[in-house]
């Protein structure tokens, strides 16, 4: 549906509700993805701690047990696996934190998790 069609004659509250409904229809169940992701990280990559929050599709990963420099870890992960994560330093974190987007199809989320797991194992060996 065109945005201009949504806006014509709509109250702002109604518009927001309609836009959220459209967004939800086009995206995976984020709550389910978040729960799946958190459990998988805890099981498969215990050195990394998912930071549980009410945020929607962005997950923070506490990597302070394996790295103090999130930029270095982010670059390593990207170079080794092609997985793009955001460094916490970009958001004024104290270092050792990464941000991961989970608003993607389940298959892509699983692929990202495998790449992250592989990269962390390689990071520990380097």
What DSSP string runs through 76-118?
A: HHHHHH----EEGGGGT--SSEEEEE--S-HHHHHHHHHHHHH
pLDDT band at 102 (very low <50, low <70, confident <90, very high): confident
Confidence class for position 14, pLDDT limits 50, 70, 90: low
Q: pLDDT averaged over the chain?
A: 81
Total count of residues recorded for the chain: 126
Which pLDDT does position 125 carry in this prediction? 78
Q: Please tell me the predicted confidence (pLDDT) of residue 9.
A: 56
Q: What is the mean pLDDT of residues 26-54?
A: 82
Q: What is the pLDDT of residue 62?
A: 94
């Amino acid at each position: 549906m065109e945005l201009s069609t949504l806006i014509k004659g709509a109250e702002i509250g109604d518009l927001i509700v309609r836009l959220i409904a459209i967004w939800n229809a086009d995206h995976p169940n984020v709550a389910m993805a978040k729960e799946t992701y958190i459990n998988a990280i805890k099981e498969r990559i215990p050195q990394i701690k998912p930071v549980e929050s009410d945020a929607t599709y962005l997950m923070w990963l506490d990597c302070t047990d394996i790295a103090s420099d999130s930029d270095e870890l982010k670059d390593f992960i990207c170079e080794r696996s092609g997985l793009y994560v955001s460094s916490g330093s970009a958001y004024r974190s104290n270092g050792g934190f990464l941000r991961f987007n989970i608003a993607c199809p389940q298959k892509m989320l699983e692929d990202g998790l495998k790449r992250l797991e592989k990269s962390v194992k390689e990071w520990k060996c380097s």
